[in-house]
Structure 1
């Protein structure tokens, strides 16, 4: 069980702001004293001290359930992860040769549409029927499939480019998925991956959703990984690194007057309005995503293929 406390989370943000300030040399005496004063104020705020936390059960809600809820609003403006990830992914895609492209975990088709617009012949695959329904309405002339990333409905050496955006955090083991990407990619083909950064899992609250089978709020299992985990899965499959970027959270401004009243029923970014200076110090310009560009090795005629 995980106990999600609004006050506990805000105190954690204050601590992260202090630790980052010490590490980066930006925590002068005024900043440190402000953080200590704000911690005392938070501890003395009745709305926070009397607020019950949420005891949630990990793994009691599925990815399909979450994306069913997200599908109607996934394309709305303000998705910060997409805002920082998308320009980097598209810059990489702009430099790739045209051919057949697979958008793996295509969701509502945002990268599918971009690939299509560049002139690729695009195939979209996703496990969520709700997200696919939106993608099909958006791009009626694209071939979409409902399928698991570990069992792609494509033959060997079928595509020149694979894109997989913000999906691998839902996959417990990278190797079977990257093996499938290697299988369907032609030698010399390109793989572009984006994913949530490991640091995000420490600095953002974990959202709790409606009651699961045990009657408690539910937590979605997520798998946040160090950069070395992607290399450990990709390199033995014959992938070579062409680029790695860690897009950062932009600087922003929060107005203390925007503090939500009453507190949200589950932890969310809304809580950051309770301590805007500490939130900015802890979170601004920190990595939000990681974007990889791999290329499948072209071993040439007569050489054994590494994919089995």
Structure 2
């Protein structure tokens, strides 16, 4: 896990103006009309006029996944809306597979491990976080668990019929060695099912995951991988793709963000309100993007419209 990255500087105003900028670029390309552009420019002016209300920002140091998940483990299971999107997309890929030896790699607290046991598999859950594994062992007594890393799974060669890796490859900078390790443990004809997040910051492959550790906050370095990177890692080690799809929003692909902006439709709704309560819930921690999005609702909706939030793969070991 990389913790050699520098501290990053996060300022609430930078995020808010950034959303407005992405929305304006989409409008410049023809996705929105003149009224939308004028409203976004008005937002930018109002945000800059209110700059002193957003504080000085914060320098956020890197932390390891081990430290970050130690703090997160007791509350990791919810509520988390991402599970409701990801699970219905991943599990159908495995429902028709023969029962056999399954490895839930980077299993976390065992949400998929439990489901695999219910499906009749002999399941080993592996994770690098002892705190996450402690929760999983209590929750899923019907599975075996072991501490391990995606680069070095505690499993013999060609011993698994199914390997599942969900929402974890974003923690890996270079996919090549990990896919080589996943291929090593699979039997010929075995399946590798992967889900991965696609990032939160439009235009950047980096998306720091801010979390607490030992009374202080830091960021877990995360990387958004191009679709081609998965193939470049999988094909040389004999993993052939059988399914791939990127999903936007709530797991659906429908076009929900291309609607024209009109002053009538958005009058008093979605624009920045300098008179609103803009206090961050916890000013001692880095700014929370989920809290800030509603402050510039129209820009946030336009900036993230149709942007994939999840990619799902099904590979077969040749």
Q: Which runs of 5+ in 2 are unaligned?
A: 1-6, 251-255, 258-268
Quote the offset at 1:141 in angstroms.
Answer: 2.1
* C-alpha spacing 1:3/1:294, structure 2 compared with 1 (3 Å): same
Distance 2:128 2:311 in 1: 22
TM-score, length basis structure 1 = 0.85
* C-alpha spacing 1:255/1:27, structure 2 compared with 1 (3 Å): closer
Determine the structure 1 residue equivalent to 2:71: 69
Determine the structure 2 residue equivalent to 1:301: none
Determine the structure 1 residue equivalent to 2:50: 45
* C-alpha spacing 1:173/1:89, structure 2 compared with 1 (3 Å): same
* C-alpha spacing 1:205/1:291, structure 2 compared with 1 (3 Å): closer
8 A Cα contact 2:199 2:207, kept in partner: no
8 A Cα contact 1:100 1:120, kept in partner: yes
Distance 2:138 2:8 in 1: 39
Determine the structure 2 residue equivalent to 1:83: 84
8 A Cα contact 2:280 2:287, kept in partner: no
Quote the offset at 1:41 in angstroms.
Answer: 1.1
Q: Which runs of 5+ in 1 are unaligned?
A: 298-308
Quote the offset at 1:19 in angstroms.
Answer: 1.6
Q: Encode CA deviations 1:149-176: one digit per residue, 9 max, x unaligned.
A: 2111111111110000111111232222
Determine the structure 2 residue equivalent to 1:221: 221
* C-alpha spacing 1:179/1:262, structure 2 compared with 1 (3 Å): closer
Quote the offset at 1:108 in angstroms.
Answer: 0.5
Determine the structure 2 residue equivalent to 1:125: 126
Determine the structure 2 residue equivalent to 1:163: 164
8 A Cα contact 2:208 2:221, kept in partner: no
Q: Encode CA deviations 1:197-226: one digit per residue, 9 max, x unaligned.
A: 1565648974545699xxx96332222211
Distance 1:165 1:210 in 2: 22
8 A Cα contact 2:73 2:109, kept in partner: yes
Q: Encode CA deviations 1:233-260: one digit per residue, 9 max, x unaligned.
A: 1000011111111121236998978865
Determine the structure 2 residue equivalent to 1:139: 140
SS at match of 1:193: strand
Structural mapping, 1:152-231, within 5 Å = 152-198=153-199, 200=201, 202=203, 206-209=208-211, 218-231=218-231
TM-score, length basis structure 2 = 0.83
SS at match of 1:280: helix
Distance 2:191 2:173 in 1: 23
Distance 1:227 1:158 in 2: 28
* C-alpha spacing 1:259/1:83, structure 2 compared with 1 (3 Å): farther
SS at match of 1:246: strand
- Tell me which of 267, 270, 279 is aligned to 2:291: 270
